[in-house]
Homo-oligomer: A and B are copies of this chain.
Amino acid sequence: MLVLVGLGLGGADDITVNGLKMVQRCSEVFYESYTSIQAHGFDLSVLENAYNKKITLCNREQIENDTDRILDLAEKTDVCILVVGDPFGATTHWSICQQALSRKIPFQVVHNASILTAVGCCGLQLYNFGQTVTVVNWTETWKPDSYFDRIEANLSCGAHTLCLMDLTLGERTIEGIMSQLHFCRNKPEYKPPAFMSASAAAKQLLAIIEMRRQSGKVTLLKESSRCVGLARIGWPDQKIVCRSLAEMSTTDLGEPLHSLVIVGSTHALEEEALRMWQ
């Protein structure tokens, strides 16, 4: 059997009782380490001690390249993959689930909290959110801005937009991939973990507004548009602030993980909530 177990948002105890039972009955437990982080950071021993179980850390490549090997294992014994948040919050997990189903391997999912719903803690109604976007880290040569159109489309319907922040976890460096190809080095090189802040995301949005303005386009999102910055939601030190986009670009919310909500049309109750974070 293969079980995907969501770990929720915060610490080791955010697993469900059902999820914990699954972890304890499985003979192999993998921890997917590339789509999010937990309150205790990367210290796997915290989970191993809390669940009293040996856990194997997997990065993106290991999960994606070794799916067949994991499923071979799941044909013989009970295998569990731990995922921060809800197993279906990230797109990659569906593919494992689908392969298990097509190989007729018994398959279960233990759902859990995700930032996609926990964002409701800022008092904006979940019903009024449009499509979610991810703000990607720009490089010198790669500055995608297509996600901005989704924010504009949401604003045009009055909908709020949840902007998730790009994160780099267990990603290989281009240099590492090249040297492995050219010199047959076996040890891949990984980039250090990197997390985008809400202020960096706000700066990028301001840059896109400016670029569009220079090319004569009018945007619905403005420097004065209100947004909500959320940091470490579900962790003991979570923080929520409501600022204009311009103000947000200089607001420090502290340690990761951050998210940003672009506020659309609001109801009276939502206004009351936003006033609390000013």
Please list the residues of chain A having a beta carbon within 8 angstroms of any beta carbon in chain B. 6, 8-18, 20-21, 86-89, 91, 94-95, 97-98, 101, 109, 111-114, 116-118, 120-121, 123, 125-134, 150, 153, 157, 159, 234, 269, 272-273, 276
| Residues of chain B lying within 8 A (CB to CB) of residue A18 | 10-11, 13-14
A102 to chain B, nearest CB (A): 8
A14 touches which of B16, B98, B123 (Cβ 8 Å): B16
- Could you show 11 A-B contacts with beta carbons less than 8 Å apart? A13-B16, A13-B21, A14-B18, A14-B111, A86-B113, A88-B118, A88-B121, A88-B126, A89-B126, A127-B133, A128-B131
Q: Across the interface, do A130 and B127 meet the contact criterion of CB distance under 8 Å? A: no
Q: Across the interface, do B126 and A132 meet the contact criterion of CB distance under 8 Å? A: yes
Complex CA distance for A273 and B114, rounded to whole angstroms: 22
Stoichiometry, as copies per complex, reads 2
**A91: nearest chain-B partner, CB-CB:** B125
A15 touches which of B10, B16, B121 (Cβ 8 Å): B16
A206 to chain B, nearest CB (A): 23
Q: Across the interface, do B130 and A91 meet the contact criterion of CB distance under 8 Å? A: no
| Residues of chain B lying within 8 A (CB to CB) of residue A14 | 16-18, 111
A38 to chain B, nearest CB (A): 12
| Residues of chain B lying within 8 A (CB to CB) of residue A272 | 98
A165 to chain B, nearest CB (A): 14
**A238: nearest chain-B partner, CB-CB:** B109
Complex CA distance for A121 and B269, rounded to whole angstroms: 32
| Residues of chain B lying within 8 A (CB to CB) of residue A13 | 16-18, 21
Counting chain B CB atoms within 10 Å of each CB, the highest count among A12, A20, A131, A276 belongs to A131
Known contacts A17-B20, A95-B269, A273-B98; A117 and B128 CB within 8 A of each other: no
